Each structure stands twice: as structure tokens, then as C-alpha cells.
Chain A
Amino acid sequence: MERTARSSTLGSLLILSLLLLLFSAPIGHLPLAAQTATHGVGVGHSAPNFSRPDLSHRKIVLSSYRGKVVLLNFWATWCEPCLTEMPTFVGWQQQYGSRNFQVIGISMDDAAPEVIATVSRLKLNYPVLMGDEYLGADYGGVLGLPVTFLIDRDGKIRARYQGASLTRIKDDIQNLLQSNTLEP
């Protein structure tokens, strides 16, 4: 009797393990896929250069940031997840700015007035410029926000983030600042 009960328990354990495997696979897969997405402009390739005025009419030329680690963030005022993460970028700019780190924001809004108001409200401490479909296409298609690129000191794209956790991005920034390489 005791032996039968033990066999049943072991059987249940086996079924439970299989069920957990079955159900956990897609749950774990989705965020991972989102974090490691490398479609669009190629990771490991040079970041497409641009020269555009920011909201303060200062010319921003991406190639002039060679020697710095750049976090290029595509966002919009109507994008709630964008607005949620941007205060963290402000903190990183403050924390790592002296170590040759630079955040650049690219708004994909249709018009500048709301962008100016949002930049002021969020007290952004990094340049923000207006993007458009051409810049989006240069970066492999910005067809959902937010999308963020991490560019190394040599101007190469080292990561593309869409749906990634801020912890993951922060780890990558720290690795790049430290050794100009990313953990695999």
C-alpha cells in the first residue's frame, strides 16, 4: 500500500515537472526574444550617422561622439513605456556622464511642441532631437516604441533593446564603460 502511494507521488512529480516545462517554455521565451532582438540595423555594424538640430537648436552629429558610449533612445510623448524609463536615463546620464557616457533622445512625435513640454517636465539632462521616418528607416525600422541602441566608443552598435529590462541595459552600459566589450 505504502509502495503504491510512493509510486503515485513519484508519478505526480513527473507529470508536474513535464507540465512546468511545457508551460514555462513560452513564458521564458518571450522576454528573452524581446531582449536579444537583433533585427533591423545590424548589431556589430557602425551606427548610421546623422546630423540634426536638437530642441535647443544645437547641431547634434552622432559621429562627433566617438570615444563615448552612447545610448540612443527612440521615444515619443504618447508612448507610456517610454516615459516610464526616461527618468532612469536621466539618472544614468548624471551617474556615468563623467565617464564618457552620453544619452541622446530621438522623438518620433509628429510635432515638437509637446516634445519640448515633456522634456521640460521630465527635466531631461541630455539632448533630444526630432526624428522621422527616414531616421527610423536608417536604424532598421523603428516601428514600435521604445527602441534603444547602445553604441560603443568606436561608433559600433553593440545592442538593440526592445522590451528589455533596464537592469540588463545598465549592466551592458557598465561593461562597455569598463572594457568596451559586452558579456555574451
Chain B
Amino acid sequence: MNLRNLRISFTASLIAICITCGVSVQAQQSPTNTSIPPQAILQPAELVQMLKSSAKPLVLQTGSHVLYAEAHIPGAEYAGPAGKSEGIEALRARVAGLNKDSLIVIYCGCCPWSRCPNIKPAYQQLQALGFTNVKALYLAENFGTDWVDKGYPVTKGR
């Protein structure tokens, strides 16, 4: 009887540990802590493929101008730091006149995803303006680690 109880409690512990580990791994691999819905998240490898196609999306960097000047995605435009009011204004000005169903990819990569001050405001602003096809590039750590170090294409300059 004792052995049986031991087995039951052991199995329960095993399940609990597996669930905990699974959640931890999931938390490290998936975007969290922002209000950007999963369907609007774009992985770097997906964007690389999109950039190879003939119908390229509009790519906007919505973070630091210094970091943009150092390295950015070829074809990406600098649209201002969306964490600041002047950045939001610059973003609004850039997308004014675009069709609401235009594919727009935004990215920042200044800081770890969950602590980025720019990506969420940029996404929310575009949503508020009625854009229906906005994707946020998921850079878990930063642009250097998750894009440049992966060997994806970059260019520099302001």
C-alpha cells in the first residue's frame, strides 16, 4: 500500500515537473509580455523568405536611429522611435495614404523583446489607424543576436 502511494505521488510529481519544464521552455521560445497577438508575430526566417519574393512588404524600423544607422534590414526605412510621441508622429506620417490592407512589417530589436519600448506602441498605433495586415518581427534578444549573427542580410547608413 505504501509503495502504491509512493508511486502515485511520484507520478504526480513527474507530471507536474514536466508541465513546469514545458512551460519554461515555451516561455523562452515564444513571444510573451506584449499585447501583440501571435498571428501578428513574424519570425526572422519568415521575413528573409518574404524579402526574396517579388512582392516585398514595407519594412519599418521603429526604434533607435543610431542602431538603424549601424545596421538594418536592406530596404527597411527608419520610421522613428515609437516609444516616443515624435516617433509615433513619424510613423503616422509614413503610413498616411497607404492602403489599409498593405503588408507592413515593423521591427525594433533595441532590447529583449519583452522589454522593448517601441514595438508594442508601433503595432498599436498601426492597429488604431486601421491597418489590417501588420506584422511585428520577433527579435527575442536584439537585432544583433537574432538577425545579424544569424547571417541574414544587412546594410548600414542613415
Contact = CB atoms under 8 A, between A and B. Distances in A.
Interface stretch (B34-42, B44-52, B63-71, B124-132): B63-71
A162 B149 CA distance: 14
Given A9-B10, A80-B115, A144 B66 contact: no
Interface string B75-113: 000000101100000000000000000000000011110
Given A23-B22, A108-B64, A144 B69 contact: no
B66 A108 contact: yes
B109 A143 contact: yes
Interface in B54-70: 64-67, 69-70
A108 B63 CA distance: 12
Given A23-B22, A108-B66, A145-B111, A163 B141 contact: yes
A34 B141 contact: yes
Contact of A136 (B11, B25, B66, B149): B66
Interface string A119-156: 00000000000011100110001111100000000000
B138 interface: no
A143 B148 contact: yes
Given A9-B10, A12-B10, A81-B115, A144 B64 contact: no
A17 to B, nearest CB: 11
Given A6-B3, A144-B142, A163-B141, A39 B149 contact: yes
A27 B145 CA distance: 17
Contacts of B24: 23, 27
B28 A24 contact: no
A40 to B, nearest CB: 8
A162 B142 CA distance: 10
Given A16-B17, A27-B24, 8 more contacts: A5-B6, A9-B7, A27-B25, A76-B110, A108-B67, A109-B64, A136-B67, A143-B145
Closest 9 CB pairs of A and B: A144-B142, A143-B144, A23-B21, A133-B69, A133-B70, A5-B3, A136-B70, A144-B144, A143-B143
Interface of B: 3-4, 6-7, 10-11, 14, 17-18, 21-22, 24-25, 28, 64-67, 69-71, 81, 83-84, 109-112, 115, 117-118, 141-145, 148-149, 156, 158
Interface of A: 2, 5-6, 8-9, 12, 15-16, 19-20, 23-24, 26-27, 30, 34, 39, 76, 78-81, 108-110, 131-133, 136-137, 141-145, 162-163
